[in-house]
Chain A
Amino acid sequence: AQSVAQPEDQVNVAEGNPLTVKCTYSVSGNPYLFWYVQYPNRGLQFLLKYITGDNLVKGSYGFEAEFNKSQTSFHLKKPSALVSDSALYFCAVRDHPGDMRFGAGTRLTVKP
């Protein structure tokens, strides 16, 4: 069965600094990996995905994530954080044809 772990409940960064939100996964086959963002009182919004190919994937709002098979990680990154990036971020994994499973979420706070 697939599972995903987000080791940090909370990440705090200053505006303009780079940010990283960590995610590790466990699947029996090839993973499909995703990042979703949730703003207050809103639904889940797709950010980016890794299916195959280039290990560095780029997504919405300047976010990117790097797939590392040897470390079974898929960390979310952004070179320069904005205050408006403050939200709850969820990593998710599927192993085809399995269903999607989410991590516990990481609350990102970007301070001015």
Chain B
Amino acid sequence: EPEVTQTPSHQVTQMGQEVILRCVPISNHLYFYWYRQILGQKVEFLVSFYNNEISEKSEIFDDQFSVERPDGSNFTLKIRSTKLEDSAMYFCASRGLDSIYGYTFGSGTRLTVV
């Protein structure tokens, strides 16, 4: 069964450093998403991406965040200058053009900012 792959599974970074979280969506999917979950809490929408541009973003997704699909297979989330409160589990998801179903989620990247 096709999977969404996220790397790394766990990343520790110092406050103020840039991080890039990587995702490989399912190959024929066209819509891509990032969500985050602060430990054990609500899953929060960050951003959706379609046709090489952001479709929608939440208030969490400020100027420190950016997304990119650099090579047609990877979908990345960059945090320019990490803060302690960015520590969370970040989930990537994707869905196909005709899909009326739920998204397929990756297993997540746990980001720890120290």
Residues of A at under 8 Å CB distance from B? 32, 34, 36, 42-46, 49, 51, 88, 90, 92, 94, 96, 99-105
Contact = CB atoms under 8 A, between A and B. Distances in A.
Contact of A49 (B55, B91, B102): B102
Contacts of A36: 102, 105
B105 A99 contact: no
28 contacts: A32-B100, A32-B102, A34-B102, A36-B105, A43-B91, A43-B106, A43-B107, A45-B105, A46-B102, A49-B101, A49-B102, A51-B101, A88-B40, A92-B102, A94-B102, A96-B100, A99-B48, A99-B55, A99-B56, A100-B33, A100-B45, A100-B93, A101-B45, A102-B42, A102-B43, A102-B45, A104-B42, A105-B43
B41 interface: yes
Interface residues of B, number: 22
Nearest to A105: B42
Contacts of A99: 33, 45, 48, 55-56
Contact of A44 (B40, B44, B100, B105): B105
Nearest to A41: B110
B108 interface: yes
Contacts of B42: 102-105
